[in-house]
Amino acid sequence: MASRPVHFIWLLDCSGSMGVNGKIAELNFAIREAVPEMQSAARSNPGATLLVRAVSFASGASWHIDEPTPVDQFTWEDLHTYGGTDMGAAFRLAAGALQTPPMPQRALPPVLALVSDGQPTDDWRAGLRAVDDTPWGRRAVRVALAIGDDADKSMLKEFLANPELEPLQAKNPRQLAAAIRWMSTAVKAASTPKADGAGPVQAPPPVALDKGEGEDPIW
Cβ-contact 188, 40 below 8 angstroms: no
Look at residue 166 in the predicted model and tell me its pLDDT.
94
- All structural domains of the chain, each given as residue ranges with its CATH number in brackets, are 4-190 (3.40.50.410)
Single-letter amino acid, residue 108? L
Task: For helices 173-184 and 23-43, give the axis angle rounded to 10 degrees.
Answer: 30
Query: Model's pTM, two decimal places?
Result: 0.90
What pLDDT band is residue 198 in, cutting at 50, 70 and 90?
A: very low
pLDDT grade for 202, boundaries at 50, 70 and 90: low
Q: Which pLDDT score, from 0 to 100, does residue 218 have?
A: 81
Examine the pLDDT at 206 and tell me if it is beyond 90.
Answer: no
Q: What is the pLDDT of residue 3?
A: 86
Q: Which percentage of the chain shows pLDDT scores above 90?
A: 79
Beta strands across the sheet bearing 111-116: 60-70, 48-58, 4-13, 111-116, 141-147, 168-170
Mean predicted confidence (pLDDT) in 44-72:
95
- pLDDT > 90? residue 15: yes
